[in-house]
A and B are shown apart, each in its own frame.
Chain A
Amino acid sequence: MNKHFFDTDIAWCPGCGNFPILRTLDKAIAAAGVDRRKLVLVSGIGQAAKLPHYTQANVFNGLHGRALPAAVGIKLANQELEVVITSGDGDMYGEGGNHFLHNLRRNVGVKAFVHNNQVYGLTKGQASPTSDLGFVTKVQTHGVVSPPFNPLAIAIAEDCSFVARSFAGDPKHLQEMMVAALQHKGGFTLLDILQPCPTFNKVNTYQWYRERVKPIPDTHDAYDRAKALELAFHWGDEIPIGILYLSKRPSFEEQQVVLSKGTLVGQYAGR
């Protein structure tokens, strides 16, 4: 941890949904048995992207929108590292949208925990790709007119290895999802976390989400793509949380001849 005066206080607002996400992540790392020495937290830019600085792990805090390609580079160089991305909706679905699309296809075994607060926090309150229609900001003065990006439906359409949603206001459920994600063996793992932003999003509040989130029943077969896709389109009065979709598709790493011989960093065999 950083011990310098300027950095002793965390840069999040009181009541920020990032706090429970950080606390829950720490618990989930322990519960999933992840060795922090082998853990790399990768982030881009934004308030969520600061999370790696507030815990104990290896950290690659890169550029806005580019956490995903950096994480993929790390994972491919050394598959023995647990690579977890902690970034926001702007970072992952906006600036990094092209990387998101193509890494769903690529299916490298990195874990993306997306703090989705449906608003841009660090730049002070503009719309994000997941803002609801009609959401008014200082830029979208007449309200958002482009329908929200649906990351879960797109992920399922692209046969993503693991697709789940949770809510920062339900730490028990969130921890369960984080542990499942961390323990998932396979390709790209997406956990979209609904995160209230008390400063800039006065619509999608703790209360708003709490009234709507509904755990997916145990009877849901996560390998059923059509059912999963149907769940992914639920938004509004009822928002399903839980594991929507699992795929048996082989990961990118499993299909690389060179990686079957060990990690690239191990094969370097030089100083």
Chain B
Amino acid sequence: MNLQLRIAGAAGQGVETTGDLLVDAFAGIGLHVFATQTYMSRVRGGLNWFDVRIGDGELFSGRRRADLLVCLSKEGLEWLRGEMADPGVILFNGAAGEGVTGIEFEQIAKDLGGSAIMANTVAAGAVLAALGYEVGKLEELLRDRFARKGEEVVVANIACVRKGAELGTAAAGKLKAPQPAGAPSGICSGNEAVGLAAATAGVKFVTSYPMTPSTGVFTFVAGVADEYGILVEQAEDEIAAINMVCGAAYAGVPAMTTTSGGGFALMVEGLALAGMLELPAFIFLGQRPGPATGLPTRTAQQDLQFAIHAGHGEFAKAILAPGTPQQCYDLTRHGLELAHKYQTPVILMSDQFLADMRKNCTGLDTSYRPINRYVIEDAGESYLRYAVTDSGVSPRALPGGEAFVVLDSDEHTEDGHITEDLEARVRLQNKRLRKLDGMKAEALAPAWHGPPEADHVLVCWGSTYGSCREAVDRLNATGRPTAMLQFAQVWPLDAGAIRPRLGTRRVTCVEGNATGQFASVLREVGALSDCEMILKYDGLPFTGEEIAERVTS
């Protein structure tokens, strides 16, 4: 049992505020929530919407058609009324009409609260009442939220909620709403989870150039920087950011930068530097549709091949791709560990869909638990930064101690000094690349979901996880045995471990790009010979129902 709610309006009208308020209120009463945003690249005007799906069981994706639509603008009504489920409820900021309940959200807010800003509280009250929920939890949230601003503001907001609820009741009874199911009341987004994991894992330096959809991680870390002791600096460009990260990593602090496709492109030389200098650089890459500026505020999974092959020359790197906010948290920590254990760059790939994805979260650990940096403290005068070892990993000392720590982006000997000794070149290049063996051996195994005997398997990576999972559940419920294999680590891959999972099954790769990039990667490493593909690259995320439909059509 679930419903899809959509709040639409122009940028600046409080679409996100209304959505956030509802998400917190629903989670507060124990409903499962899955929320995501669709917005245009502008500060004012246009048409943005915030989707909230609520249910009595865990939710992993959204739905295309809305059961309830709140329109703060006329454009919202024009564009989105064709995307309604049947029966559907429309609450419109204006006059009532055919199939439309008119509630003057902004006028009521002005009358009761003295400001149009409170239109979002009126709307939230109306939505709850239209679905037959009590507004008590919402009032409690508003009291907490506005306590700092004084009793007057609290009272005005509550008056707005009650008026909204009174008018929203007119639309009640049309939709059957899910009953609270004891879901966790905490909510977190993909970007917040990455930021929190970085702060708790001991990242001490974060430097970025703002770029949608990665900026949320940057601002989250800035918000908790004083609490966790993090230096946050806005870089003049992405080239500076990655080079500052390399410098800080050399000096011994876990460091990170956040970016998206175009910014990542600028970082690529610095990425190779981290590979050559063997530095634990951690990069958060939030994808959006390209090429070039593309669709700045939409979603895509188009930069996988680019990320895998990013950097001139050959060097070891790992790429992780979480599918939920919880996985964002876990894999950020894991990625930082990996970067330090192997002294090489690690990229965490997200996208706009996952960045803005909000889901119930069961208490992410906020305590400071610094990861192991794998540094040595007893390096003496004969220390060699790039000592050749079987694993390829050389003992890492930090500058400032007894030993000189010498790094060079030129080819170098074991002591780190520049060389054109070509035998040394081969020895050192082999050493660096040997790290890939260890990284492959401990690569995260892909996760199976669905019946073990299913002869059709959907392969996905990154944010497509949730939609695929819902599709698999839908397909099995309709008597089509289907399973899925989710890759949370997309590079390097252990082909030997993947082949038996796919076997002779029918394989469909589901990806948010136009060319089937991960399918190519699987073929390249010899883990897959042939497959079908379900691809999407219109800037919007997959829904579970969409994947299920495309599998059966």
Question: Which chain A residues have a beta carbon within 8 Å of chain B's beta carbons?
Answer: 1-2, 4-7, 36-38, 40, 42, 45, 50, 52-53, 56-63, 66, 69-78, 80-81, 98-99, 101-102, 106, 256-259, 261, 264-265, 267-271
A271 touches B373 (CB 8 A): yes
Q: Does B467 contact A (CB under 8 A)?
A: no
- Chain B residues with CB under 8 A of A77: 204-205, 247-253, 255
Interface size on B, residues (CB 8 A): 61
* Most central of A62, A70, A74 by chain B CB within 10 Å: A70
Query: How far apart are A96's CB and chain B's nearest CB, in angstroms?
Result: 9
CB neighbours (8 Å) of B419 from chain A are 2, 4, 6-7
Please count the residue pairs between chain A and chain B whose beta carbons lie under 8 angstroms apart in the complex.
Answer: 186
Interface residues of chain A: helix, strand, loop or mixed (majority): helix
- The answer to whether B231 touches A264, judged by C-beta atoms less than 8 angstroms apart, is yes
Indicate which residue in B233, B255, B404, B421 contacts A59 across the interface (CB closer than 8 Å): B404
Q: Which B376-409 residues have a C-beta within 8 angstroms of A?
A: 398-402, 404-409
Closest to A41 in B: B406
Give the Cβ gap from A5 to chain B, nearest Cβ, in Å. 7
Q: When chains A and B are docked, how far (Å) is the Cα of A74 from the Cα of B226?
A: 20
Whether the pair B202, A37 counts as a contact (CB closer than 8 A) is no
Please report the C-alpha to C-alpha distance between residue A184 and residue B254 in the assembled complex, in whole angstroms.
29
Of all chain A residues, the one with the shortest Cβ separation from B369 is A270
Interface residues of B (CB under 8 A from A): 202, 204-205, 207, 225-226, 229-231, 233, 235-237, 239-241, 243-255, 269-270, 273, 277, 368, 370-375, 398-402, 404-410, 413, 415-421, 424
Query: Within the complex, what minimum Cβ distance (angstroms) separates B439 from chain A?
Result: 21
Question: Closest CB of chain A to B292's CB: distance in Å?
Answer: 20
Given contacts A63-B269, A73-B255, A81-B251, contact A258 B226 (CB under 8 A): yes
What residues of A have a CB within 8 angstroms of the CB of B204 in the complex?
A: 77, 264-265, 267-268
Most chain B C-beta atoms within 10 Å of own C-beta, residue among A50, A106, A256, A267: A267
Pairwise interchain contact B236-A56, C-beta atoms closer than 8 A: no
Task: Give the CA-CA distance A61 to B417 in the complex, in Å.
Answer: 9
Give, as a whole number of angstroms, the nearest-CB distance from B119 to chain A.
Answer: 38
15 pairs, CB–CB < 8 Å, chain A vs chain B? A58-B404, A59-B407, A60-B250, A62-B246, A70-B250, A73-B207, A73-B247, A77-B249, A77-B252, A98-B237, A258-B225, A268-B252, A268-B253, A268-B373, A270-B372
Chain A residues within an 8 Å CB radius of B413? 2, 4, 7
Q: A69-B235, A69-B244 are in contact. Are A59 and B408 (CB under 8 A)?
A: yes
Contact of A264 among B253, B368, B417 (CB under 8 A): B253
Cα(A268)–Cα(B233), bound, Å:
18
A38 neighbours in B (Cβ, 8 Å)? 400
